[in-house]
Chain A
């Protein structure tokens, strides 16, 4: 933690976050920083919304927090603060007390409810 700005030093960008960073770098130094922040924020909110579709099956919920962290909650009100998808899954496993497995047929059945809705679109 930096004593001046109160932020964590994040030396490692998770691979799922790379595209926003890369896009910002590619647009060069003259690019509009507001545009980058808007892009990044939009991406984070979209990620939180999608992740909640999976986490709902385990009684968990994630919320984007001021563009820097995600807050993970269970139904008892316990919370964990996570940095990215890399640290989300171990934290979620910890809170739910069971492995989060995308190959689990029960999770797949719960997701397929929304799948039917998708088919009807």
Chain B
């Protein structure tokens, strides 16, 4: 059984450490190890806390997201050694806190590609914190913030207690426009139940579910223009039948090779003509090892794929998939179309 890893990322000063400080003080978190990059003003006190100094090794391709974080490899191997020697009890979870300006992709790449770590750890959740006071400003000025939001499975809105009335709602609308499928929760003073925070369900990578329906239905009513924020687009697709997994892999790997940095997120369930779907989850070039499920998690057995892209328009994705349909074996269709027709 691989140990689950949660990546906590978020805007500068958005309260990542406050959130972790509160959560880690709970007794149920004693077997959770924490790796932090910096000690902020809020001191964290935990016996399994490790500090790492970011040390990245750029691989030959020169792509920023395919970098190995040597410091993380070292720290995580250290944790494994401690556990194996019996100095600590079995690790239940590892939480990695990134710096406010960090792109989460290299962390995922490190864990999925390291020859040892890939067999012992799996990333089941990316949590992004955004603060209701300065969140909008970060989104405007900081392209890394958009990447952090796109990579998130859960978004925690912090500082709702000191923000102006309506600020949190405006921020939620913007975040939803970038990443319609992340679960968004409002939290004041870091008060959150750790069980709830670290549970991958319902929008985690482990299940591949596409978030709560209420949120998505609301989004469909807003019309396609609402998805587009500063060159960021999100598109939800389905296919009219089972797809050839090998062909879809060819298309997606080719797209990621050429436009990897512009594909901020790929997530969904794919009907490949087997008893259960394939769970697909990727952040930029980094694709989680796809899981072939034994059965569908809900009664809806259609493929559902969401792509969050930068600069690539939804129409281009759709045209490309249409051209590839002779290989893929099914026609792509925008999911929105269906909802708009059934709603009107």
Contact = CB atoms under 8 A, between A and B. Distances in A.
Contact of A50 (B250, B257, B290, B291): B250
Contacts of A89: 253-254, 257-258
B251 A102 contact: yes
A43 B292 CA distance: 16
A101 B258 contact: yes
Interface of B is mostly: helix
A14 B246 CA distance: 12
Interface residues of A, number: 38
B80 interface: no
B316 interface: yes
B323 A112 contact: yes
A93 to B, nearest CB: 8
A111 B259 CA distance: 20
B85 interface: no
Interface string A86-102: 10111001000001111
Nearest to A21: B289
Given A85-B253, A90-B257, A108-B319, A103 B324 contact: no
A84 to B, nearest CB: 9
Nearest to B253: A85
Interface of A is mostly: helix
Interface stretch (A32-40, A63-71, A72-80, A113-121): A113-121
A16 B291 CA distance: 11
Contacts of A14: 253
A12 interface: yes
A86 B253 contact: yes
A22 B292 contact: yes
B257 A46 contact: no
B326 A114 contact: yes
Interface residues of B, number: 35
A54 B254 contact: yes
B289 A18 contact: yes
A72 to B, nearest CB: 14
Contacts of A16: 246, 249-250, 253
Interface of A: 11-16, 18-19, 22-23, 43, 46-47, 50-51, 53-54, 85-86, 88-90, 93, 99-103, 105, 107-109, 111-112, 114-115, 117-118
Interface of B: 61, 113, 115, 118, 244-247, 249-251, 253-255, 257-259, 278, 287-292, 312, 316-317, 319-320, 322-327
26 contacts: A11-B115, A13-B289, A15-B287, A18-B289, A43-B246, A47-B250, A50-B247, A50-B250, A51-B250, A89-B254, A89-B258, A99-B258, A100-B258, A101-B258, A102-B258, A102-B320, A102-B323, A103-B317, A103-B319, A111-B324, A111-B326, A112-B323, A115-B325, A115-B326, A117-B326, A118-B326
